[in-house]
Amino acid sequence: MEGLEAVRKRPGMYIGSTGPRGLHHLVYEVVDNSVDEALAGECTGIDVTLRADGGLTVVDNGRGIPIDKHPKLRKPTLEVVMTVLHAGGKFGGESYKVSGGLHGVGVSVVNALSTRVDVEVRRDGFTWSQRYELGKPVSQLTKGKATKTTGTTITFWPDADIFETVDFDYETLATHLRETAFLNRNLRITLIDERELEPRREDFKYAGGIIDFVKFLNQNRETVNSRVIYFEQTGVEGEVEVALQWNKSYSDNTMSFANNINTHEGGSHLDGFKNALTRTINDYARRQNILKEKDANLSGDDIREGLTAILSVKLRDPQFEGQTKTKLGNPEMRAFVQQAVTQALAEYLEEHPGPAKEIVKKASAAAKAREAARKAREMTRKTSLLENSTLPGKLADCSIKDAALAEIFFVEGDSAGGSAKQARDRTFQAILPLRGKILNVERAGTHRALSSLEIQAMITAMGTGVGEEYNVDKARYHKAIIMTDADVDGAHIRTLILTFFYRYMREALDAGYVYIAQPPLYKLTAGRKSSYAYSDNELQEQIKLLPEGAKYNIQRYKGLGEMNPKQLWETTMNPETRTLLRVDVEDVLLAEQAVTDLMGDQVEPRREFIQAHAKDVRFLDI
């Protein structure tokens, strides 16, 4: 049997990475075991506590990990679960399990990657406990006080020698645990943060399950069908549950899950859902004569414009495929989901003619806008062909043709653009100056977004096309670097550009092609020597390093324009000396919510977001 040393040697194989994502994966791994108990109908509550000492505790009221002697290995089953890879499962159980992909690797992996783990089991009338270090038991399983309750408590301290950071992020955990609670109706999950003087605490429990999930996602949007559409079906293949509600925005916000795992890459269940949705709504539109004989069918994209949907399936033996193991493979799920959705949705439309007509109207409007946008795109293609150059005039391109080595800087303003052009290494660095505040695509339809000159320039420069025609292989640069001033306006412009990438080129974000340049905030000069500081902390550190009593001067850079080309090159553009922040959609849900709150058409959530994050803002140049 494979030892836990293998896990310590190659942690990435088991938890994906040793960055923040891998660290949080440990928490999900432990919680998933408790959720399995809930799926088996044996657990109603889970507490997750971030401890002041850096550890994390998960408590559940499930059956408790068995403590009797394992028939083959002649030690307590608890010890087998904690120390043997892939032994965590309920042996031959009948219930659905959270497993597959990177999930379900077992608590033994958490044990292997922790300096210490304390386990307490309440079972068979007593409390039982055992302690582990670096995956190995350092105490016997000990019988303690009598108890009438059952359940498991696992506390672990992640190993700082393995992880880049061992600092758990409250928001990341809250988002994931909230999602888990939505997917398991009535399961209570409590998150407690004891690291602050004033402990923080949130309860997640939803009597409406995924209906509440859809309401949550749409809370700040104007809806088309005011009541969330919901249906479920059970068959030999498993269970399917769907909740849907259209809103007046332009994006598709469909999320799919299989056994509680977010299937980011989709799969058979999502294919079945989309097919059913497209066909059923077209059938209805024709039967009602809203779509005339001469009209073309509404496309899937038209129908899903403004849709918020949760598709959740449960099945006994899920097969996860794809790059990140988040694509459901099981072929039987396609027909199963398609049949269930077709039947229930057709029934809904017949019984609710009011909302049904609104939904069809929204899709028809989307179809018209899409047709107009297609014509506009064709026009831009034709005009640019006439000019004999497809690239925007403002682009100062690089000479290298290998996209993997090429970089493009999106620079705020023509003057900073000029400095950047002088500063750059023209062999591999291209510059595209953007004029001020580009269009907020979150508040504009596809047609208006694609008619904006600045947006067209970004698209043609990138070379990939957008939306359904997007092709990441055509990217002309593998680094798209957003370079804006270190002030509020700069932050706003950066958000606008990121919103554009998020809505129109999400694959570029997923491929890791999008970066944020980090210009210095200060220049510290003492005598003839000067250095740059990229944060307040760094500035204080550098001041401390100066000789006692030395005189020094601090220059605060408000904009890129205050640096000369040589300084701009040294501090921000030279790959040898610069720092870049890679933007990735760590958590699509978090990003989605942030983009909606910040860029959507309602004021209140934007105010709340800004108030909640105001302390993170470094400068306010108002």
Active site residues: 412, 485, 487, 489
How far is the first Cα of the chain from the last one, in angstroms, to the nearest whole number?
A: 63
User: What's the min distance (Å) between Cβ of 191 and ligand 0RA?
Assistant: 17
User: What's the min distance (Å) between Cβ of 163 and ligand 0RA?
Assistant: 22
Cα(472)–Cα(464) distance, rounded to whole angstroms?
Answer: 6
Question: What is the secondary structure of 144-208 as a DSSP string?
Answer: EEE-S--EEEEEEEE-TTT-S-----HHHHHHHHHHHHHHSTT-EEEEEE-SSSS-EEEEE--TT
Nearer to ligand 0RA, 34 or 111 (CB): 34
Residues contacting residue 427 through CB under 8 Å, at least 6 positions apart: 398, 399, 400
Taking a C-beta distance cutoff of 8 angstroms, is the pair 284, 271 a contact?
no
Stated as kind and residue range, the H or E segment containing 294 is: none
User: What's the min distance (Å) between Cβ of 88 and ligand 0RA?
Assistant: 6
Nearer to ligand 0RA, 34 or 83 (CB): 34
Nearer to ligand 0RA, 76 or 600 (CB): 76
Residues contacting residue 591 through CB under 8 Å, at least 6 positions apart: 502, 585
Between the alpha carbon of residue 65 and those of residues 68, 143, 369, 520, the distances in Å are 9, 14, 57, 53
Which of 395, 118, 352 is CA-nearest to residue 230? 352
Cα(49)–Cα(496) distance, rounded to whole angstroms?
Answer: 36
Nearer to ligand 0RA, 62 or 238 (CB): 62
Tell me the one-letter amino acid at 312. Answer: S
Q: Within a 10 A sphere around the Cβ of 417, how many other Cβ atoms?
A: 21
Residues that bind ligand 0RA (CB under 6 A): 33-34, 37, 60, 62-63, 65-66, 81, 90, 107, 152
User: What's the min distance (Å) between Cβ of 156 and ligand 0RA?
Assistant: 12
Taking a C-beta distance cutoff of 8 angstroms, is the pair 31, 98 a contact?
no
Nearer to ligand 0RA, 111 or 245 (CB): 111
User: What's the min distance (Å) between Cβ of 46 and ligand 0RA?
Assistant: 9
Q: Which residue has the closest beta carbon to ligand 0RA?
A: 33
User: What's the min distance (Å) between Cβ of 121 and ligand 0RA?
Assistant: 8
Nearer to ligand 0RA, 45 or 465 (CB): 45
Nearer to ligand 0RA, 98 or 261 (CB): 98
Which of 431, 413, 410 is CA-nearest to residue 422? 431
Torsion angle of alpha carbons 449, 455, 456, 459, nearest 10°? -110
Residues contacting residue 164 through CB under 8 Å, at least 6 positions apart: 18, 19, 20
Taking a C-beta distance cutoff of 8 angstroms, is the pair 7, 85 a contact?
yes
Taking a C-beta distance cutoff of 8 angstroms, is the pair 256, 240 a contact?
no
Cα(16)–Cα(101) distance, rounded to whole angstroms?
Answer: 10
Cα(56)–Cα(166) distance, rounded to whole angstroms?
Answer: 11
User: What's the min distance (Å) between Cβ of 65 and ligand 0RA?
Assistant: 4
User: What's the min distance (Å) between Cβ of 66 and ligand 0RA?
Assistant: 5
User: What's the min distance (Å) between Cβ of 312 and ligand 0RA?
Assistant: 22
Cα(226)–Cα(204) distance, rounded to whole angstroms?
Answer: 24
Nearer to ligand 0RA, 99 or 152 (CB): 152
Cα(243)–Cα(206) distance, rounded to whole angstroms?
Answer: 14
- In this structure, is the dihedral angle defined by the CA atoms of residues 70, 138, 129 and 204, taken in order, positive or negative? negative
Q: Within a 10 A sphere around the Cβ of 122, how many other Cβ atoms?
A: 24
Nearer to ligand 0RA, 120 or 241 (CB): 120
